[in-house]
Structure formats: structure tokens, C-alpha cells
Amino acid sequence: MSRLVLVVVLLTACGAVAPKAAIATPSPQASPSPTLTRSDFLAIVGGPKNTAVSLVASDGTVIATAPVDLPTFWMHALMSWTSASRTRLYYLDGSEVRFLAPDGSTGLATKIAFGPTEQAGFAVSPDDASIAVSVFSYTQASGPPSSATYKGMRSYVEDLHGGGHHVDIFSSTTVAEFPVGWTGGRLILAVSEPKCCKALTVNPYDATSYHVVDPATGTRLASLCNNTQGPEGPIEPIGATCYPFPYGAPIYQRWDGSRFDSPAAVPDPSPLNAVSPDGTRIAGSPCCYNGNALALFGPRGQWVWLHQTGYVMGWLDAHHIVIQPVDSPAISVIEVGQGPTELDEIWSIRSNTEIAPGGSYLGTFPAAVT
């Protein structure tokens, strides 16, 4: 897994240095506003060992939670087992796809048929009408589960309620891809690998690229991050960031495959960066500068250190960033505030709230990509 090796090299080889002189020196930071805000988006948080799933506000308030019993056979640790629509969070519980609403109500949405040596991942459309499913199959030899051999996969789309309009859209004995979201009525698939992952990856799905397909036929409509080292950070409404080969510049692509301009002048590409939902800024730890210190990069070469070390998991909205501190299993949300003038564009931390002492960040609710 070359991407994982790349991350380790970046994390260990980069020293505590300052950004290159070509990056503009930041203006003095504005004084934080005393008024903090709660994001309109909630964090989807998996409990320790994924025994529960919760909707958590940016101020740490648990809005709703439900117990989870994931299948014990789980070869791809990053395969999607939750999915957000505009109104509900869906999660895999055994072979059932259940829902959790912000009011705490739960219920059964549908079931996925898979065997004892198979694994399923899914994504529900934002309007709660359709579900896309991928099932990976393995042959289990004697020995630990990790010794299982990949047999192949199948993908289908059907009505979420009742299973009508079922269509098989793809199958392969070698390729491994699964749904991670919907955009404009089209399905986003993460092209990955059969088994994953024991180390930090450059994106939350261990994807090498994305395919955007017609959910009615499986016809591929766009491909993102081909001929690169893979997507960088989580998917966002604007599209995806593609991590370049050495000495190359990042590529920014919309979900139709077209490119958009670089949102910021980042001193060095890093697999620990995440583009903002609107594509105007990047948050990350640029090649381990200042001991994994987090920074925000904006237009015209503006940047600012956030005086916080860690890894960026993603953005809840334009003002709230989800991070994991260095050497800690906790997940936190930091709120950032803009400087006093439009030209300043300097950001500072206004709050830092722990939302999951030992869980995992699984995305945003309502659906971030529609």
C-alpha cells in the first residue's frame, strides 16, 4: 500500500520548519469573538469499537445515539457502514440497515443479503428514496480472518423501502469499490482494495480514485483523481482534492470531472489536508511543519497557524473543523473565526470541543454531498 508508506514517510521525515518564504506572512490575528456558534451540521460518531453510533453537535452535545452490532467478518475497515440523508442517519446493524433520526427515533429501513464471509457497504440517497450497495466476497481458509482470499464484488441499486426497481450495476472478480455518497442524483463510488487498513490513509475510504456513475445503469459519467496518488481528505460538496506525484501540484476536481482553481497556496502538498466544503480554503498539517501543527490556508497566499497539533478529519461547515489531536484517540471540533476585514482572511481558533473520547468520525449530518 504505497499511500500508507507515503504517509509514514511524511510524518517521520518532515522536520519542525517554517513554511517557505514564498507564502505570505499572516497578518495579526483578530481577537476571538466571545459569541460561539453551534454548527447546523452534526458529526456522525462511531463509538469505541463501533458498538454505537451517535449524532453529536459541535458543542459536544449528544443529540441522538443507537447501539450497533456490526458483523464480525470485516475485512475492509473503512468500507461505508453509515450514510446520511437530509433527514436521517442510516447504519448497518447485522444485516439490517436501520435509521437514527435527530429526535432519537430509530427503525428498520431495509436488509442487505450477504453471507458469513462477505462484507457490505452502502449509501442512501439524500431524499431517502434509493440505496446503493456493494458486497465484497471472500474465501475463508483455515486460520485467522486476515487470511481470507478476495473472490470479487457486486453492486446494486434499489428502492430503500421495499427493494423495488432493483438493478445490478457492476460486478468484478478483481476490482473493489463501494458507494460513499450521492451528488446531483448520481452515485459516488470509492475505488479501493479488498482489504484495509492498519495505518493512517490519505482519505477516509482508502480510495485510489472516485467513479461517478448513473445509478440506473452503472454507466460511468466521470472519474476523479486518475493518474495521481489518490484523493486527499474526505469528499466535499465542491468535489475532491487529488494528491499529486512527487513535485507535482494538487489537482482539484468537481464531481462532473472538471477542474476548479487551487483554493489556497499550500507550501507543500500533504495527505493530511482537507478542502473546505465551498472549495475556498484548506485545513491541514502541511508536511509536519511545527510538529504536526494545524494551519489554515486561504486565497492570495494567506495562511495562519492554529496553535493546535493533530490531523484534520474533515469540515462540518465553513467555521467548524473536525480534528484528532496527536497521540490521542479523542475527536474534537474546533471553531474558527474570520478576521475583521475581507482582505485579512486570517482565521483563529474560537473554541475547541471534544466530541468523542475514543470514537471515530464518520462524516456529517445532514448529507454533506448532495
Q: What is the pLDDT of residues 136-192, one digit of tens each?
A: 999 976 667 778 999 999 999 999 999 999 999 999 999 999 999 999 999 999 999
Instruction: For residue range 113-132, list pLDDT tens digits in order.
Output: 999 999 999 999 999 999 99
Which uninterrupted H or E stretch holds 246?
none
Give the burial string for 312-337 (b: 16+ CB within 10 Å, else e).
Answer: bbbbbbebbbbbbbeeeeebbbbbbb
Residue with more model confidence, 299 or 363: 363
**pTM exceeds 0.75:** yes
Pick the closest to residue 334 from 301, 289, 295, 287 (CA basis): 295
**pLDDT category, 349, cuts 50, 70, 90?**
low
**pLDDT category, 244, cuts 50, 70, 90?**
confident
Residue with more model confidence, 294 or 90: 90
User: Which residue reads 431524499 in cell numbers?
Assistant: 127
Q: Return the amino acid letter for 202.
A: V
Give the burial string for 203-225 (b: 16+ CB within 10 Å, else e).
Answer: bbbbbbbbbbbebeebeeebebb
Instruction: For residue range 172-183, list pLDDT tens digits in order.
Output: 999 999 999 999
Measured CA to CA in angstroms, residue 313 lies from 235, 260, 333 at distances of 11, 22, 10
Burial of 166 (0-12, 13-18, 19+ CB in 10 A): exposed
Instruction: Give, in degrees to the nearest 5, the angle at Cα 90 between 43 and 161.
Output: 155
Measured CA to CA in angstroms, residue 94 lies from 90, 121, 175, 277, 351 at distances of 13, 12, 25, 32, 38
